[in-house]
């Protein structure tokens, strides 16, 4: 019984991380149709910020966390301004390939100017301690992660439903031309979308760094690939779909960890993606894909 509860908490924590990342991808995609492959490098920017602070002997956890998040948000907005603006109204393939190129440039810049080897970051280890929750042994990090994701989902919902800008962003996902016609500045909508996306990447960065304790140029790739898969399963462009997809992926992953024999450990991702592929045969457009209605732009 305790074992099952423990695995459920594991699945929730994994799912929370994927949901956090998938939301960051989905919010940008829903507005400008951009598949942001450079999301992983935003995470790496946060990680390298921690390295820089470490080099400056700044160990105050609040400063470390805040600057990593701010750096990720700043990097995200800068990418929008300089890399993605030229392809803003282009078709999704053009945007996707641009993002792919941007991701490649950033990875190689880290490699070129910092180091191709992993650098240890120890300033966030304090976030991780064992907790005894009603007789079940869990890690504090897992609780923080699940809690933070729940908080983010609520905050994002309030923002998207209660503020003018949030409503404009939801409208922009349906018909951007109309949003511009009623006098909302396009630049502001895009900037805020990337700001939120960067914020989510920054938060995810903190949990990823606290767990792995090191940063390297390719660190963002694996989590973001999972987040992409979560988006596809949930329905690309749908925010609830991104969250649902993230938690499904987390559950499948933990199930594989539990069920697969030890010697197949290296094949875990292969099995996870295989199961996801079966889900996609059932719903090729994802589970919660926005329905195309009469009059929508296709």
Partner 1 sequence: MTRGLYGVALISIVLIAIGVATTYFGSRYHLRLVYGAYVNLLVVLGLQVFMGNARITNLSHSAFMGIGAYVAAICVTPETVKAISLPQAPWGLNAFSLDPISSALIAIAITAIIAALIGLIIVRLTAIGATIVSLAVLVIVHSVFLFRTDIFKGNQAFFGIPQVFSLTSIVILSVAVVFIARMFRESKWGVQLRASADDELGAQASGVNIHQVRLIAWILSGILLSIAGIAYAFYLGTISARPFYFNHVFLTLAMLILGGMRTVTGAVLGTLIISFGLESVRWIETGPVVLGIDLPEVLGLSGVVLGAVIVLTMAFRPEGIMGDREVEDLLLKP
Residues that bind partner 1 (CB under 8 A): 29, 35, 83, 86-87, 90, 92-94, 96-98, 100-109, 111-112, 116, 225, 228-229, 231-232, 236, 264, 266-267, 269-270, 273-274, 276-277, 280-281, 284-286, 298
Give CA–CA dist 161/48, Å, rounded. Answer: 34
Residue 272 Cβ, how far from partner 1 at the closest point, in Å?
9
Residue 143 Cβ, how far from partner 1 at the closest point, in Å?
30
Question: What's the length of the chain?
Answer: 298
Nearer to partner 1 among residue 8 and residue 109 (C-beta): 109
Nearer to partner 1 among residue 176 and residue 184 (C-beta): 176
Closest listed residue to residue 201, CA positions, set 17, 13, 15: 17
Residue 199 Cβ, how far from partner 1 at the closest point, in Å?
23
Token duo for residue 4: 């099952």
Q: Across the strands, what pairs with 139?
A: 130
Give CA–CA dist 225/219, Å, rounded. Answer: 11
Closest listed residue to residue 97, CA positions, set 28, 34, 27: 34
Nearer to partner 1 among residue 104 and residue 133 (C-beta): 104
Residue 285 Cβ, how far from partner 1 at the closest point, in Å?
6
The CA radius of gyration of the chain, in Å to the nearest whole number, is: 19
Asked if residues 170 and 37 have their Cβ atoms less than 8 Å apart, the reply is no
Nearer to partner 1 among residue 67 and residue 107 (C-beta): 107
Nearer to partner 1 among residue 7 and residue 285 (C-beta): 285
Residue 287 Cβ, how far from partner 1 at the closest point, in Å?
12
Give CA–CA dist 141/139, Å, rounded. Answer: 5
Residue 217 Cβ, how far from partner 1 at the closest point, in Å?
8
Contacts of residue 275, defined as CB under 8 A and 6 or more positions apart, other chains included, come to 252, 256
Residue 64 Cβ, how far from partner 1 at the closest point, in Å?
27
Contacts of residue 88, defined as CB under 8 A and 6 or more positions apart, other chains included, come to 32, 190
Nearer to partner 1 among residue 108 and residue 137 (C-beta): 108
Nearer to partner 1 among residue 58 and residue 109 (C-beta): 109
Token duo for residue 23: 């939301």
């Amino acid at each position: 019984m305790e074992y099952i509860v423990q695995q459920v908490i594991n699945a929730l924590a994994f799912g929370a991380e994927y949901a956090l990342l998938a939301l960051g991808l989905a919010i940008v995609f829903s507005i400008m149709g951009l598949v942001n492959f450079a999301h992983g490098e935003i995470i790496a920017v946060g990680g390298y910020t921690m390295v820089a602070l470490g080099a400056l002997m700044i160990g105050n956890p609040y400063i470390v966390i805040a600057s990593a998040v701010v750096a990720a948000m700043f990097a995200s907005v800068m990418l929008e301004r300089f890399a993605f603006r030229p392809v803003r109204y282009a078709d999704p393939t053009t945007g996707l390939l641009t993002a792919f190129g941007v991701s490649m440039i950033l990875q190689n810049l880290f490699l070129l100017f910092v180091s191709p080897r992993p650098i240890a970051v120890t300033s966030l280890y304090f976030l991780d301690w064992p907790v005894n929750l009603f007789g079940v042994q869990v890690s504090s990090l897992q609780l923080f992660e699940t809690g933070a994701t729940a908080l983010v989902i609520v905050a994002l919902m309030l923002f998207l439903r209660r503020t003018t800008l949030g409503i404009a962003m939801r409208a922009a996902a349906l018909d951007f031309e109309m949003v511009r016609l009623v006098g909302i500045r396009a630049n502001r909508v895009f900037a805020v979308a990337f700001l939120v996306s960067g914020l989510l990447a920054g938060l995810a960065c903190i949990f990823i760094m606290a767990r792995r304790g090191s940063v390297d140029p390719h660190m963002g790739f694996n989590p973001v690939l999972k987040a992409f898969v979560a988006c596809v399963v949930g329905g690309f462009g749908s925010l609830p779909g991104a969250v649902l997809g993230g938690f499904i992926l987390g559950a499948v992953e933990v199930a594989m960890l539990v069920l697969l024999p030890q010697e197949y450990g290296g094949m875990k991702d292969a099995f996870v993606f295989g199961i996801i592929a079966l889900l996609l045969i059932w719903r090729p457009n994802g589970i919660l894909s926005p329905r195309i209605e009469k009059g929508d732009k296709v």
